[in-house]
Structure formats: structure tokens, C-alpha cells
Amino acid sequence: MSNDVTISLQEAEALSNKVLTHHGFSQAHAGAITRSVMAAQCDECHSHGLYRLIGCVQTALNGGVDTQAEPTITDQAASVVKVNANKGCSLLSFEMGKPYLIEKAKRSGVAALAINNSFHFSALWPEVEALSAEGLVALAVTPSHAFVAPAGGTSPLLGTNPIAFSWPRPGSTPYTFDFATSVVARGEIELHRRAGKSIPEGWAMDSEGNSTTDPVAALAGAMLPFGSYKGSALSTMVELLSGPLIGDLLGHETQAANAEKNGKPFHGELIVAMSPEVFLGKDADTHLRHAEVLFEGILAQGARLPSQRRFAARERSRINGITFPNALYEELKVLASN
């Protein structure tokens, strides 16, 4: 008997909306969250897909997100727009700030969207891909709570601190990457814990600073940055760009929501958009085609481009629906009604 279930995209979307609205999220927030987790689930990014609804609900129950918050938009400067999430989820703030960001980037060449005071849990690639779909080059960074020890350290100080980038490609899917500056996303360790599986060596340390393959010990200890000092430096850059630069907190100054309801899970995100058309004028198409030489060279060596597997999964999901653990499906059905 299979431990997985396959459902249609429409059923999954309806289930997500029902879970969220049942637990107090406004329709606007539920819609934005659903669009994000469905994008991840369709691309078989299970760590940021429907599984994340459990965390959203728990955060709401623990008072760690304002489920009815209405973001406040500030037209800060010619190339800067700021959105205060007002302790709501970051996704609605991004969707509301995106039109301003696109307009400013296409007018000025480079523009930035700063999201402040937000609860953030989601993958970044749907955001940068939404911008590359508009013909823009996009970069996004955000901190997380302190889960990662700096290279050479033994206790959590840095976040998993992802970086995402998307480059529009003529007549093709964009060149996109989205990765944590930790060895692996924290959600991957959580999925190993849920499945009762060990994690590989080199992902994390226990609370005593010793290497561990136990996901429970890893979650209580510290994750490791990828590439040692290089990953640690990139993680620090993310903290600075999406913290002090935009007037928000560093990752270690935030804490996850908890049952005592004294957590502080709110922090910032920075998204930068660049317009090839403004940089290059009438030569933009020529240089975008020139970029294809690099991608073709990578593929010619038998290597793959980042996100190729995601795009293939997206097509499978479009045709066949989404497949995910039956235990998670049953858990979500309970959340939708209890």
C-alpha cells in the first residue's frame, strides 16, 4: 500500500485555503500563502510546499503572525518602495509591493522592494520568477531566526539566510536559483525528523557542538553554513542587506513563535529588480541572446541548470496532479476542520 496520495491542483488549492481561513487568515493572506505553497508543491519542493501550512497554523495559534494584518506601502524614493507587513505574512506584502517595484525598475533600471516587520516562511524563487516573467533580472534575500553557527563557531547566530536569483531567458524557462546559505534548508531536517530518518554527516551539530546525524539533536543544536567561511560570509551579507540596510532586525534578534506567545518572528526581506531594457536600450535582445551561450555551454558538458528538475516537476504536476505523503494529507484535512 502506497504511503503517498495524488490529488488535483484544484483540490490542493482549495484545501490550503480552507486550512488557512479556518484558522483565522484573511482571504487575502490565505490566497497569497496558497499561491506560494502551491508553487513549491507543484515543483516538488516538499520542504516549502503544503507541509508549510502546519507551521503557518501553529504560528497563528502561538500569536506569531497577525492573520488579518493589512500591509502599509511607502513610496520611499525613485527606486525604492517599502512595505510594512505590520506583523503579517510577507507574501501578501510582496504581492502588493510588486507592481511598484516593476514600475520603478522599468523606469530607473534598478529598483528595490524592502519588506519590514513580516513573518516569513516561504521559498524565494516564486518571487524572483514573478519578476523575471516581467523581463526583469531579480535578486532576493532574507534572514531567518538564528539556526546556523558561523564557520568556526559552535552555536546558532546566523539564519539559514537564503539567496534567490532569476534571469529571464528568451522563449524558455528562466535561469533561477534559490538556496539557503546553510548546508541545507531547515525544512529538510524537519522532514527527516518527521520521517524518522537520519541526516547526513556535515549538516549540523548538536547542542554540545559535536557533529550529529540525529535530526532531533540537529534541530536543538546548530546547522552549518555551506562552504565553510564562504557560506558564512554570504550569510552575513544577507543579514546586513535585509536587516540594518532596510531598518530591520538581524536574525538572532528574532525568535520563533511559541506556546508562551512571547516569540518575535518578524524580520525583513530585500528584493532587487534590474531591467535589461533600461541598461541596454535597443541592444537588450542581442545581449539576452548572448547570455544563452553560457547556458548552452553548461548543458553541453552534461551539467544541468538550477531549477531544471523543478520545471520538469511542474509539468508533471500540471498533467497528473500533486503527489505527497498521505499522512500529511490527513493532517491537513484535520486542520481544515478542527
Positions marked active-site: 47-48, 188
Distance of CA 275 to the CA centre of its chain: 23
Other beta carbons less than 10 A from residue 78's beta carbon: 9
185-200 core/surface letters (b: 16 or more CB in 10 A; e: else): bbbbbbbbbeeeeebe
Cα–Cα dist 75/138, whole Å: 20
Cα–Cα dist 208/289, whole Å: 52
Sign for the CA dihedral angle at 88, 94, 99, 105 comes to positive
Shortest CA distance to 149 belongs to which of 201, 203, 190?
A: 203
DSSP state of 203: S
Other beta carbons less than 10 A from residue 238's beta carbon: 24
Backbone angles phi, psi at 172, to 5 degrees: -145, 170
Distance of CA 198 to the CA centre of its chain: 24
